Chain A
Amino acid sequence: MNTLFTRRGFLKTAGIITAGVTLGRFDDLVASENKPIIFPEKKKDLILLTSRPPQLETPLPYFKELITPNDALFVRWHLANIPTSVDLNQWKLKVNGNVDEELTLSMDDLKNKFEKATYTAVIQCSGNGRSFFEPRVPGGQWKNGAMGNVTWGGVRLKDILAGAGIKGGSVEIAFDGLDTGPLPSVPDFIKSLSVDKALEDDIIIAYEMNGGRLTMLNGFPVRLIVPGWYATYWVKALDTITVQPKQFDGFWMKTAYRIPDNACACIPGGSKPQKTVPINRMNVRSLIIDPADGQKIKTNKPTEIMGLAFSGGYSIKDVLVSVDEGRTWKEARLGQDKGRYSWVQWFYPWRPAKPGRYTIMARAVNSIGESQPMESLWNPAGFMRNKIEKIEVNVG
């Protein structure tokens, strides 16, 4: 008997379909051949945003864990032809362009010829939280689940580039993966970093996530990891690295994934920015994970509020929690420190003495004093949402 042929498995699948109908979210969605909407190597309860190319969001309860499991990590592709089959005997990582010597590296080369680097880093989509923007903006309508905290293992990019030898006068490094557009006219998804950025110690080409191989939908066989920066740079199914003698000007750098060129990366809602720059380092964020928004809590029962906080490469120094809608704030206790790229869990003991509706807020501060704004900062692409989140709970 199939292990999934259980009442629980049955109810879960049934739940996906019924929930879709109730919410009207997938009422226009027809699963052909009666196959359920489950993506390979992924949990059934990931939230389906789009199917081709796939965009799947992680439900918040998974963030009760310090490390996001591979099968719960969000998925985001840009172009319809995503790799669904990779032969590791055929696949090679090519390094070319403005280099002394072109390289063609196999997976064995990566694993055996280079030192391995491992660290935990938050991966977060630029548009995480876009659906909460006001005025609303088009694009992937993510809630807060386009992120995760993963231990990545791989090869330092700078070691590979040293092997190829970057020629003098080089300006940028471009990264291309196996995904392609369904029409020749669709701009290939290629991202670039300045040579200086690309040579930083912590940028790696990862062949491991949480100790296993990468899942196909998260970029098997290798992906670029630019810790502290938004995931748009973390090119999946990477196979070509090209050293550029001038600035790379592909669509996904020159036109897309750009933010207003000012300190807050923000402009008044509904307006157009004068000047833009490519999105880059992540801002400070914190989320309240437990209790969930709208949850009921018993009066006088000791409870613990729990959440997470991270910033773009600077460790979180403090998380302040308010249970009275921002009038007073107290420090939360921080959990295990897994390095400056990881998120940190925070915990706040609470025993609400009186029944009623409570607004809980959390605000993180990093080691260079960066924090979160009280009100949402707006930009036309819906990037970098990091306002202080609020949840409401009913005590009674």
Chain B
Amino acid sequence: MKTPLFLIIILMAACVYAQDASIKKDGSTYSIELPAVRPELKPGDGKERTEAMCNICHSLDYISMQPQLSRGGWTAEVNKMINVFGAPMSEDDAKVIINYLTIIYGKKD
């Protein structure tokens, strides 16, 4: 397989960055920089609203990682986000998001 040149350059740049992406010490201060990872969700009705709402508290790989949940399972997850963690979403938001998650990341019948 032939690797495109631009990909090689990107990967080489990535390697150089890798060594710097460790802990830095400045006097008595220790600092790290987290990698900028921006996972996205699969296309579907409600994707944008789901991404916007869920991203407030956690990256979207939290969603893609889950097993295929039933509608009841996804409803319970969304309700937990509202009732326990205070996700600022309207009833309509919740409906759209539960639908999206059930269709795109739900259990196939």
CB distance from B9 to the nearest CB of A (A): 9
Q: Would you call B30 and A220 a contact (CB within 8 A)?
A: yes
Residues of B within 8 A of A31 (CB): 35-38
A13 touches which one: B15, B35, B39, B60 (CB < 8 A)? Answer: B15
Residues of B within 8 A of A49 (CB): 61, 65
What separation, in Å, do the CA atoms of A84 and B21 have in the docked complex?
A: 12
Q: Would you call B22 and A40 a contact (CB within 8 A)?
A: yes
Q: Would you call A37 and B33 a contact (CB within 8 A)?
A: no
Q: Would you call B73 and A138 a contact (CB within 8 A)?
A: yes
Inter-chain contact total with CB atoms closer than 8 Å: 165
Residues of A within 8 A of B52 (CB): none
Q: Would you call A183 and B88 a contact (CB within 8 A)?
A: yes
Closest to A79 in B: B57
Q: Would you call A88 and B28 a contact (CB within 8 A)?
A: yes
CB distance from A47 to the nearest CB of B (A): 11
Q: Would you call A9 and B67 a contact (CB within 8 A)?
A: no
CB distance from A85 to the nearest CB of B (A): 4
CB distance from B24 to the nearest CB of A (A): 9
Q: Would you call B38 and A30 a contact (CB within 8 A)?
A: yes
Residues of A within 8 A of B84 (CB): 187, 251, 255
Q: Would you call B36 and A33 a contact (CB within 8 A)?
A: yes
Chain B, 76-96, CB within 8 A of any chain A CB = 77, 84-88
Residues of A within 8 A of B67 (CB): 131, 136-138, 141
What separation, in Å, do the CA atoms of A13 and B68 have in the docked complex?
A: 30
Asked if B40 is at the interface (CB within 8 A of a chain A CB), the reply is yes
Closest to B65 in A: A141
Closest to B34 in A: A84
B11 touches which one: A14, A29, A184 (CB < 8 A)? Answer: A14
Chain B, 4-57, CB within 8 A of any chain A CB = 10-19, 21-23, 27-42, 56-57
Closest to B55 in A: A52
Asked if B108 is at the interface (CB within 8 A of a chain A CB), the reply is no
Asked if A34 is at the interface (CB within 8 A of a chain B CB), the reply is yes
Closest to A78 in B: B58
Q: Known contacts being A39-B35, A40-B22, A141-B66, is A85 close to B15, with CB within 8 Å?
A: no
What separation, in Å, do the CA atoms of A39 and B10 have in the docked complex?
A: 18
Q: Would you call B57 and A183 a contact (CB within 8 A)?
A: yes
The size of the chain B interface, using a CB distance under 8 A, is: 50
What separation, in Å, do the CA atoms of A183 and B89 have in the docked complex?
A: 13
Chain A 68-92 against B: per-residue CB contact (8 Å), 1 yes, 0 no?
A: 0000000000001000111111100
What separation, in Å, do the CA atoms of A36 and B12 have in the docked complex?
A: 10
Asked if A327 is at the interface (CB within 8 A of a chain B CB), the reply is no
Asked if A300 is at the interface (CB within 8 A of a chain B CB), the reply is no
Q: Would you call B29 and A28 a contact (CB within 8 A)?
A: no
Q: Known contacts being A13-B11, A51-B35, is A87 close to B59, with CB within 8 Å?
A: no
Residues of A within 8 A of B68 (CB): 136
Q: Known contacts being A2-B16, A87-B29, A187-B85, is A32 close to B36, with CB within 8 Å?
A: yes
Q: Most B CB atoms within 10 A — which of A36, A186, A251?
A: A36
Q: Known contacts being A28-B41, A44-B18, A255-B84, is A88 close to B56, with CB within 8 Å?
A: no
Asked if A4 is at the interface (CB within 8 A of a chain B CB), the reply is yes
Asked if B69 is at the interface (CB within 8 A of a chain A CB), the reply is yes
Q: Would you call A51 and B32 a contact (CB within 8 A)?
A: no
Chain A 49-71 against B: per-residue CB contact (8 Å), 1 yes, 0 no?
A: 11111100000000000000000
Residues of A within 8 A of B14 (CB): 13, 34-36
Residues of B within 8 A of A187 (CB): 84-85
Q: Most A CB atoms within 10 A — which of B30, B59, B73?
A: B30
Q: Would you call B35 and A36 a contact (CB within 8 A)?
A: yes
Q: Known contacts being A5-B12, A28-B39, A36-B35, is A51 close to B61, with CB within 8 Å?
A: yes
What separation, in Å, do the CA atoms of A29 and B64 have in the docked complex?
A: 10
Q: Would you call A185 and B85 a contact (CB within 8 A)?
A: yes
Q: Known contacts being A31-B36, A85-B29, A186-B86, is A50 close to B19, with CB within 8 Å?
A: no
Residues of A within 8 A of B69 (CB): 138
Q: Would you call A40 and B34 a contact (CB within 8 A)?
A: yes
Q: Give chain B's interface residues, CB within 8 Å of chain A.
A: 3, 10-19, 21-23, 27-42, 56-62, 64-69, 73, 77, 84-88
Can you list 8 A-B contacts (CB < 8 A)?
A28-B41, A30-B40, A31-B35, A44-B18, A49-B61, A88-B29, A183-B56, A183-B88
Q: List 10 tightest A-B contacts by C-beta distance, closest first.
A: A185-B86, A136-B67, A40-B32, A51-B37, A52-B59, A36-B14, A85-B31, A87-B29, A89-B28, A88-B28
Q: Give chain A's interface residues, CB within 8 Å of chain B.
A: 2-5, 9-10, 13-14, 17, 26, 28-41, 44, 48-54, 80, 84-90, 131, 136-138, 140-141, 181-187, 215-217, 220-221, 251, 255
